[in-house]
Homo-oligomer: A and B are copies of this chain.
């Protein structure tokens, strides 16, 4: 963004508390076709991408210069839905500078922040409006919408942290969240390598 160069000045940006969207800045949009192989049910995935390629989530990348004293921030909106029995989710990522944290504050919807570190520790923290979730350094993290409304979170991380999506695209998370008998359960990921 031009106004951030060459010296970073104070600025503000609006993100609606109702739908998470900015009124001035375009979001990045992730449709289902960008997540090939990441859902457990390949048949359901193929049928859904053939039939309209739904928008799964959107988020913001504001271009704050990547320096260790700067922070990147924005909102993430994961829409409700399922691929087969598996709830809509973000790709998920490690930070390239592995030992950098991220904070998410949930302003709407219901879901999980699924996290795991290279040592195999994993956990799922619940998102409900007002819940702040701390993702420590070393933890890959993925937002999952288990409700009927958009899952909206406001996030902040060190702007130089970087995003490593490749590790998750290759290996997957150890766990997935699926609907069973009308409620979410956390089970082993059959595709996890």
- Chain A interface residues toward B at CB < 8 A: 8-17, 64, 68-71, 73, 97, 99-103, 105, 107, 113, 115, 121, 123, 125-126, 129-137, 139, 154, 156-158
Contacts and interface: CB of A to CB of B under 8 A. Distances in A.
A71 B156 contact: yes
Given A69-B101, A73-B156, A154-B154, 8 more contacts: A8-B134, A10-B113, A10-B125, A17-B129, A70-B136, A71-B157, A73-B105, A73-B134
A131 B73 CA distance: 12
Given A69-B99, A69-B100, A130 B15 contact: yes
The residue in A101, A121, A135 that gathers the most chain B C-beta atoms within 10 A of its C-beta is A101
A79 B167 CA distance: 46
14 contacts: A8-B101, A11-B133, A12-B125, A13-B131, A14-B130, A14-B131, A15-B105, A15-B130, A15-B132, A17-B130, A69-B97, A71-B101, A73-B132, A105-B154
